[in-house]
């Protein structure tokens, strides 16, 4: 997997000098003016912050089965699509195959 070259690294000294030159995009006045109550309000307003009880109906109890190490030949375009999803693409491939197997097993139990 190729490394991305769009990551920029700065030393702490370089960061301080950039901030001193005004190259920082953070609105520090707004940050400093924010009170604890305002912060709590913004957290409550966040649609992605889920405070509800998790839905455990789809949870699987137990330790997952060990994985087998195999060599497999995959079409180049298919492999590249999975790799384009980043780190964990092999786990994603396993999850797709597992979903396929589970739907087939479910269909077979219905037809019997």
The DSSP code sequence of 45-76 is: H-TT---SPP--TT---SPPPPPPP------H
Mean pLDDT, residues 55-79 taken together: 88
Local confidence band at 76 (pLDDT 50, 70, 90 cut-offs): very high
Q: Which two tokens stand for residue 87?
A: 């780190």
Q: Of 7-11, 26-30, 36-40, 54-58, give the lowest mean pLDDT range.
A: 54-58
Mutual angle of helices 76-83 and 89-111, in 10-degree steps = 110
**pLDDT of 27:** 85
% pLDDT > 70, the chain = 96
**pLDDT of 112:** 66
Q: List CB contacts of 92: < 8 A, sequence separation 6 or more.
A: 82, 85
Mean pLDDT, residues 51-77 taken together: 86
More reliable by pLDDT, 48 or 31: 31
**pLDDT of 4:** 66
Distance of alpha carbon 39 from alpha carbon 41, whole angstroms: 5
Asked whether residue 11 carries a pLDDT value surpassing 80, the answer given is: yes
């Amino acid at each position: 997997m190729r490394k991305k070259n769009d990551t920029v690294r700065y030393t702490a000294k370089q960061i301080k000098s950039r901030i001193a030159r005004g190259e920082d995009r953070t609105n520090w006045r707004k940050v400093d003016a924010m009170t604890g109550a305002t912060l709590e309000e913004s957290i409550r307003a966040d649609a992605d912050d889920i405070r509800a009880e998790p839905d455990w109906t789809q949870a699987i109890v137990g330790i997952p089965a060990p994985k087998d190490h195999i060599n497999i030949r995959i079409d180049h375009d298919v492999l590249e699509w999975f790799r384009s999803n980043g780190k964990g693409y092999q786990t994603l491939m396993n999850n797709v195959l597992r979903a396929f197997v589970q739907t087939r097993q479910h269909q077979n139990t219905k037809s019997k």
